[in-house]
Structure 1
Amino acid sequence: MNSSLYRVGLLATAILLTATGCTWHVSPGAQHGSVDANDLVFPDQDKAWQKAGKIVEQNDVAKIGVGTTKNEIYQLIGTPHFQEGFNAREWDYILKFYDANNNIETCRYKIIFDDSYEGILRKDEFFATELYWQPESCAKYSQYVR
């Protein structure tokens, strides 16, 4: 009886996620805290809840590195722009920066988190383990400006 209830629960969850438009775009390996750069999956920008992205301060992004917690990232650049929950192992953003000519450049930013999280009740934190940019030339925005 318990296994059939479990199966019904899984089926109901799958139907709910499908009906609400949730899409999974997990990069292979993300659930283990590390992704091969060749296997990165950047979600379709049209699937973002904040399709236009967000203009952010370069120095705020420069504060994000390996070991930064999800809470710290949230304080610096806000919530991810796709349907990623707080327990997700990766967050994706559409970030916009002013370039040297005062034009806006749009970049995709992916953060992969560690796999040691055991729950809020244990006061655990998710920590960033890897950071990726698309296009790669946007990595320049990870540097502090004066």
Structure 2
Amino acid sequence: MVEQARTAVLRTAMKSLLLSTATMGIFLLGGCTGSGLLGMQREPANLAAPQDGDFPNPGSSILRQGTVPTTEALRLMRTGMDKDEVRQLLGTPHFSEGVFGVREWNYLFHLRGSKETEDVVCQYMVRFDSSVRVSGLYWRNPDCALLVEPPPVEAVQAMAAMTPQKLTLSADSLFGVEGKGLKDMPPEGRLRIERLANDIKRNFRRIYYVVVTGHTDRLGAEADKMALSLARADAVSKLLAQQGINAKVIRVAGMGDRQPLAQCPGTAKTAVLQDCLRSNRRIEIEVVGEE
């Protein structure tokens, strides 16, 4: 009986050992293939600069209020750093990034504005290469970078003294009456923006900023008009960036129908009224730089 009991205990111990070994093998395999817990595959870091939609929802942050880093720590961030060096400067990431094969860390920061303004909430992304070294550093809002590295005073004074170069484009010719995104832009509209980007690069040896502002007519709900004007301006700004204009210097605004050029009578959405309001549906592009 004693011998039988001893044999049963040994069998149970062996089963436990085999189960533990198999479980450990699954986790190790997950680490080698870039899979996280539950076998969820994690995509490798994208080599292209992230778009706005690539950043996580701020509401999903582990630290809902974020943190207040020092500007000195942010200025020390460089490509080539390992994760321990990043952690020493910025702390652990503020979002649930996974366990194995993680190639991206995201942070939610509160940066100090001027004395007259409140703190600015900024999202910061750190990407790692296959050697787990920093390969890219990105702000969701380019204005946040200016809080860390403000431009020299002489550059600000020079910008204030310059006369902006302004161009107005018909939104109808770029998007049609209803279109709002790049997918709605016909080839001739894309070509016009691409040529404009080339002209800007050729005529300015240094660009301080480009402001793209969308405008609509007065027909429709207020919220819809604001959203449409902003979406159109955003589409144009993205196309400018694709053609080599530095995305960090591009600012986007949507004004809705607040700055009309034409005043047209009538409230019914007729073809005559829409044609009269055509000049109000426009995209304005303003460039300040050294020619």
Aligned residue for 1:55?
A: 68
Q: Is the 8 A contact 1:33 1:89 kept in 2?
A: no
Under a length normalisation based on structure 2, what TM-score does the superposition of the two structures give? 0.35
Amino acid at match of 1:143: E
Matches within 5 A, 1:1-146: 13=38, 31-32=44-45, 34-38=47-51, 41-85=54-98, 87-101=101-115, 103-116=118-131, 126-143=132-149
Aligned residues: 116
Q: Deviations over 1:46-85 (max 9, x none)?
A: 1111011001101111100111221111011101000124
Shift of 1:134: 1.4
Decide whether aligned partners of structure 1 residues 62 and 107 sit closer, same or farther in structure 2, where only a CA change above 3 A counts.
same
Aligned residue for 2:253?
A: none
Q: Is the 8 A contact 2:52 2:140 kept in 1?
A: no
Amino acid at match of 1:70: K
Decide whether aligned partners of structure 1 residues 32 and 135 sit closer, same or farther in structure 2, where only a CA change above 3 A counts.
closer
Larger Rg: 2
Decide whether aligned partners of structure 1 residues 103 and 36 sit closer, same or farther in structure 2, where only a CA change above 3 A counts.
closer
Q: Is the 8 A contact 1:33 1:115 kept in 2?
A: no
Decide whether aligned partners of structure 1 residues 142 and 128 sit closer, same or farther in structure 2, where only a CA change above 3 A counts.
farther
Shift of 1:32: 4.7
- C-alpha RMSD of the superposition: 3.1
Aligned residue for 1:20?
A: none
Gaps of 5+ in 2: 1-25, 151-291
Higher helix share: 2
Q: Secondary structure at the match of 1:130?
A: strand
Gaps of 5+ in 1: 1-5, 18-23, 117-125
Name the CA distance, whole Å, in 2 between partners of 1:50 and 1:137. Answer: 22
Q: Secondary structure at the match of 2:92?
A: coil
Q: Deviations over 1:89-146 (max 9, x none)?
A: 0000001111121631110000110113xxxxxxxxx2111111011111124439xx
Decide whether aligned partners of structure 1 residues 94 and 127 sit closer, same or farther in structure 2, where only a CA change above 3 A counts.
same
Shift of 1:40: 5.7
Q: Is the 8 A contact 1:89 1:112 kept in 2?
A: yes
Q: Is the 8 A contact 1:61 1:141 kept in 2?
A: no
Q: Is the 8 A contact 1:49 1:82 kept in 2?
A: yes
